[in-house]
Chain A
Amino acid sequence: MARQDSSDIIFRRVLAIFPISILVLVAGLFFQLISSSLPSLTKFGASFFVSSVWDPVAENFGALPFIFGTCLTSLVALLLAVPIGVGAAIYLAEYASPQVSKVISILVDLLAAIPSVIYGLWGIFVLVPFMRHSVQPFLGKYFGFLPFFQGPNYGVGFLAASIILAIIIVPFIISVSREVILAVPSVYKESALALGTTRWEAVFNIVLSYGKAGILGAVILALGRAIGETMAVTMIIGNNPTISSSLFSPGYTLASVLANEFAEAAGNMYLSSLIEIGLVLFLVSILVNILARFLIWSVTKGASEATK
């Protein structure tokens, strides 16, 4: 056993402060959210999660449309962003020349640093008119038999918000996935190639399978960003608490209603309900994270068994 010098002990204890402070922070946050939303928790109970009414005048509150909006936009954003993000990462790591890869990687990191209000403004002035004049009429005409592409076409709504979210999270997926793919030891890939696989087979079967956990980690990071994203979504989702199967419909998210109404909320029950929205957002994030970790765990378990 290594000699325990007093400096080692001090260093270890000092270091331990940092992770503990994270725990304290999360616990404190959770406690504060619960205690501030107690009036609303006791008044509405479970009906808060299933009621669709949000009426500040009558002080009657339910969060279902907001939960729906947050989950739907995040999910659609992931569906759009994951293929693009992982595809781009594979290209940058495996196929692009080093110069091209470097330039594009810098641009990707630049995209990740743009404040979301800029994306929101771009959404209002460029994306929303484009959705209204081109994308949604096209979808309505050729895919209108699906329930997702029906109803009046405003431009703003779930689809526009999901696309903005996808644009915001794609850089995270590219950046992290590229690092993960680059970190795959080249022996594996070279062995596969030496055994006569094509490049496509090597990438798909060896590199992606080896990097699966890391890529899923990138997706979770992106999902967290999508769930919590506020400004850009608020500006283009239409801010109407509706539950609809159509992506053309205007909607609302948990983060948006907080951003919109918190500053002017004066009544105690109103304020408490808004804080409970924050609590729900917190819980949704935790739940989604747990689900995603579970997914990673099950996937990597399968992978490690296969290599045995």
Chain B
Amino acid sequence: MKKIIGLVLGLVVGVSLAFADAVLINGAGATFPYPIYSKWFDEYGKMNPGVQFNYQSIGSGGGIKQILAKTVDFGATDGPMSIDQLTQAPGRIYHIPTVMGAVVVSYNLDGINKGLKLSGDVLADIYLGKITQWNDSRIAAQNTGVNLPNQGIVVVHRSDGSGTSFIFTDYLSSVSSDWKARVGKATSVNWPLGLGGKGNEGVAGMIKQTSGSIGYVELAYAKQNNLPYAFLKNQSGNYIEPTLESTSKAADGASIPEDFRVSLVNSSNPESYPIVSFTWLLIYKQMDSPVTGKAIVDFIKWAVTDGQKYAADLDYAPLPSNVVEMIQRRLTQVKY
């Protein structure tokens, strides 16, 4: 018996010695960037065996709650924290963009593949229930030569609170004052009409099955599942296909504030797709632990430079170089 106890003790001591200089970084938050984050944690861990990550993709709201409570070393969110939330924080919180994502408008119309043209105000009025037929003159006016059916529009939206809904409603608020006043932007809103699907897969499932439906999903999800998607009219009046390039363009040339808490929807860049957002990491300006603090900053520096090459494969748009430079400057202000 003593032998066994000795053996176990020896093992425990040995293992803890081996990991004595390992840093464990805890994070929690957004589900949307989870695939790229886990890829980064994996690749970065291979190069720096001393750094280990534990990321819980519990949703942006949960990420904000946990960073405010300091139960994690970093949070992650798809929508910037509100001023209200920032003042609740026990310290100054920095938003660091990591990659960019787009939300695409998908639909199910017999004989019409991708490329239906829609403008923001028409999209908002569809979601407000003002436009109810596919052959409405305002849709037809933008799609000459397309045979639009005389069919009711079935509106589909996310039922679960999500960053995707935040980006989508942020866009609708920016293009329609009526939407802004009646509904607003949030991870969950009081939808004027429509069916709610749970998750990207729930929305996509309903669109695929329901003839005449329209809905929104992440670009990555639409590409991987070959869903038809609309070309949206941007601020400059061009109809833009959602691609990684047109997504990245949204931050290119746009005026980005120092704190990165910026909405990229409806960008002024003439080549940009209009429903685009950063996804952010949330860290404290004053880190509690020098070891963890340094490890996090080193990781972020790598993620926004070398790490960006993994983005495209996973259907995220990489950050434009002007944003990367700004992040590098910002990171020098982090204290640990």
Residue contact B185 to A129, C-beta cutoff 8 Å = no
Tell whether A54 pairs with B190 under 8 Å between CB atoms, given A154-B210, A239-B198, A264-B61.
Answer: yes
Query: Which residue of chain A is the closest to B154 with respect to CB atoms?
Result: A154
B154: which A residues are within 8 A, CB to CB? 154
Residue contact B62 to A124, C-beta cutoff 8 Å = no
Residue contact A264 to B62, C-beta cutoff 8 Å = yes
What 1/0 mask marks residues of chain A from 31 to 75 whose CB sits below 8 Å from any chain B CB?
Answer: 000000000000000000000011111100000000000000000
Does A132 lie at the interface of the complex (its beta carbon under 8 Å from any beta carbon of B)? yes
Residue contact A152 to B196, C-beta cutoff 8 Å = no
B65: which A residues are within 8 A, CB to CB? 266
- The residue from B160, B191, B206 contacting A260, defined by CB atoms under 8 A apart: B160
What 1/0 mask marks residues of chain A from 146 to 170 whose CB sits below 8 Å from any chain B CB?
Answer: 0000001011100000000000000
Does B194 lie at the interface of the complex (its beta carbon under 8 Å from any beta carbon of A)? yes
What 1/0 mask marks residues of chain A from 126 to 154 whose CB sits below 8 Å from any chain B CB?
Answer: 00110010000000000000000000101
Task: Report the bound CA distance from A58 to B185 in whole Å.
Answer: 10
What 1/0 mask marks residues of chain A from 228 to 254 whose CB sits below 8 Å from any chain B CB?
Answer: 000000110011100000000010100
Query: Which residue of chain A is the closest to B202 with respect to CB atoms?
Result: A235
A238: which B residues are within 8 A, CB to CB? 195-196
A33 to chain B, nearest CB (A): 19
Residue contact B189 to A56, C-beta cutoff 8 Å = yes
B contact patch SS: loop
Residue contact A53 to B59, C-beta cutoff 8 Å = no
A18 to chain B, nearest CB (A): 33
Does A125 lie at the interface of the complex (its beta carbon under 8 Å from any beta carbon of B)? yes
Does B118 lie at the interface of the complex (its beta carbon under 8 Å from any beta carbon of A)? no
Q: Report how many residues on chain A are interfacial, defined by Cβ distance under 8 Å.
A: 31
B196: which A residues are within 8 A, CB to CB? 238-240, 250, 252, 260
Task: Report the bound CA distance from A252 to B196 in whole Å.
Answer: 9
B328: which A residues are within 8 A, CB to CB? none
B188: which A residues are within 8 A, CB to CB? 56, 260-261, 264-265
Residue contact A263 to B62, C-beta cutoff 8 Å = yes
Within 8 A of A (CB), among B54-80: 58-62, 64-65
A56: which B residues are within 8 A, CB to CB? 161, 186-190
What 1/0 mask marks residues of chain A from 245 to 284 whose CB sits below 8 Å from any chain B CB?
Answer: 0000010100010011111111000000000000000000
Task: Report the bound CA distance from A212 to B198 in whole Å.
Answer: 40
What 1/0 mask marks residues of chain A from 81 to 106 whose CB sits below 8 Å from any chain B CB?
Answer: 00000000000000000000000000
A contact patch SS: loop
Task: Report the bound CA distance from A294 to B189 in whole Å.
Answer: 41
Within 8 A of A (CB), among B33-61: 58-61
B72 to chain A, nearest CB (A): 15
Task: Report the bound CA distance from A252 to B159 in whole Å.
Answer: 10
- The residue from B64, B191, B195 contacting A156, defined by CB atoms under 8 A apart: B195
Query: Which residue of chain B is the closest to A263 with respect to CB atoms?
Result: B59
Residue contact B61 to A265, C-beta cutoff 8 Å = yes
- The residue from B162, B183, B205 contacting A264, defined by CB atoms under 8 A apart: B162
A124: which B residues are within 8 A, CB to CB? 202, 205, 209
B281 to chain A, nearest CB (A): 17
Residue contact A234 to B152, C-beta cutoff 8 Å = no
Does B184 lie at the interface of the complex (its beta carbon under 8 Å from any beta carbon of A)? yes
Does B228 lie at the interface of the complex (its beta carbon under 8 Å from any beta carbon of A)? no
A53: which B residues are within 8 A, CB to CB? 190
B58: which A residues are within 8 A, CB to CB? 263
Residue contact B209 to A240, C-beta cutoff 8 Å = no
- The residue from A55, A129, A239 contacting B159, defined by CB atoms under 8 A apart: A239
A125: which B residues are within 8 A, CB to CB? 205
Does B129 lie at the interface of the complex (its beta carbon under 8 Å from any beta carbon of A)? no
Query: Which residue of chain A is the closest to B162 with respect to CB atoms?
Result: A264
A150 to chain B, nearest CB (A): 16
Query: Which residue of chain A is the closest to B68 with respect to CB atoms?
Result: A266
A154: which B residues are within 8 A, CB to CB? 154, 195, 210
10 A-B pairs with least C-beta separation? A264-B161, A239-B196, A239-B159, A57-B184, A264-B61, A55-B190, A263-B59, A264-B187, A266-B61, A260-B160
A/B interface sample: 9 pairs, CB < 8 A: A56-B187, A56-B189, A56-B190, A240-B195, A263-B61, A264-B60, A264-B160, A264-B161, A265-B188
List 13 additional A-B contacts (Cβ < 8 Å) besides A55-B190, A259-B198.
Answer: A54-B190, A55-B189, A56-B190, A57-B185, A58-B190, A132-B209, A235-B198, A239-B196, A240-B191, A240-B193, A252-B196, A264-B61, A264-B62
Chain A interfacial positions (CB closer than 8 Å to B):
53-58, 124-125, 128-129, 132, 152, 154-156, 234-235, 238-240, 250, 252, 256, 259-266
